């Protein structure tokens, strides 16, 4: 089997790796971790205070790299418009690409447009279609993911990369383990997602038995904005809207 070539490591990354193996005394650990705790707490407080007032919303996920001329950008924009017409606000990661499309659709339809932006050394910047009082900047991914899940009544997952998969499987895991109540998870774009779904069915379920057959019922896969919004409406036709925690 051919070996995977190692990616070059920058001096900054190398320094982080070395520092992880250095012994620290208790005073250093206490001081450093105490400041992290306060920063994490401040992000939770800001998020809870802002989002507790927004009402029922749907989170839209997808790639930050999707350009406006991509068909999925237009679909995300239309899904957001229709969600607003059906009484939902829209939450995105606040950045460019699919996130921008979701905020744009909600903003132009006169609905609530929420952006949970993550500060990164590259790629991420907040888009201009977020309501000014509903933009929150985060340093910590895990705090941001809590906000996505706690204050969303559904997830619409457009084609995306590692971050999109992270958000999708975080939600699936929490629902599967009953740590949160069930809510609709909608994958948009059969041609994009069918390979992953086939692997889940044939390998994860069929060959290895690592999930139960009913776990597949947690996921809806659709191809149009109308189908995406209908999947959410159908789910809540017999439930009241409420936060998941």
Residue 62: what pLDDT? 97
Burial class (CB in 10 A: 0-12, 13-18, 19+), 167: buried
* Element of type H or E holding 160: none
Residue 34: what pLDDT? 82
Q: What is the CATH number of domain 39-238?
A: 3.40.50.450
The DSSP result for 68-120, as a single string, is: TTSHHHHHHHHHHHHHHHTT-EEEE-SSSTHHHHHHHHHHHTTS-EEEEEE--
Residue 71: what pLDDT? 98
Partners of 57 in the beta sheet?
89
- Give CA separation, 137 vs 46, 140, 155, 181, 236, in Å: 9, 9, 20, 26, 30
Contact yes or no for 172/194 (Cβ under 8 A):
no
Mean pLDDT by 10 residues, the chain (245 residues): 64 69 63 83 95 94 96 98 96 96 98 92 80 94 94 96 96 94 96 97 97 96 98 82 43
- The two tokens of residue 232 are 């959410």
Determine how β-strand 89-92 pairs with β-strand 113-118: parallel
User: Domain segments of the chain: what residues?
Assistant: 39-238
């Amino acid at each position: 089997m051919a070996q995977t070539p190692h990616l070059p490591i920058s001096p900054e990354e190398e320094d982080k790796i070395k520092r992880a193996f250095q012994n620290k005394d208790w005073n250093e650990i206490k001081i450093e971790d105490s400041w992290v705790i306060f920063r994490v707490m401040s992000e939770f407080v800001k998020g809870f205070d802002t989002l507790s007032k927004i009402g029922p919303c749907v989170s839209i996920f997808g790639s930050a790299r999707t350009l406006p001329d991509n068909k999925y950008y237009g679909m995300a924009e239309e899904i957001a418009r229709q969600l607003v017409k059906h009484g939902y606000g829209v939450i995105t990661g606040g950045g460019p690409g699919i996130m921008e499309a979701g905020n744009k659709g909600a903003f132009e339809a006169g609905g609530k447009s929420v952006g949970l932006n993550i500060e990164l050394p590259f790629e991420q910047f907040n888009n201009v279609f977020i309501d000014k009082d509903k933009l929150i900047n985060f340093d910590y991914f895990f705090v941001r993911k809590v906000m996505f899940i706690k204050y969303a009544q559904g997830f619409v997952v457009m084609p995306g990369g590692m971050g999109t998969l992270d958000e999708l499987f975080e939600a699936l895991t929490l629902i599967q383990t009953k740590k949160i109540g069930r809510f609709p998870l909608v994958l948009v774009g059969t041609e994009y997602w069918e390979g992953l779904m086939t692997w889940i069915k044939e390998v994860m379920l069929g060959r290895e038995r690592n999930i139960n057959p009913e776990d597949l019922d947690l996921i809806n896969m659709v191809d149009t904005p109308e189908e995406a919004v209908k999947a959410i409406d159908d789910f809540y036709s017999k439930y009241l809207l409420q936060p998941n925690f």
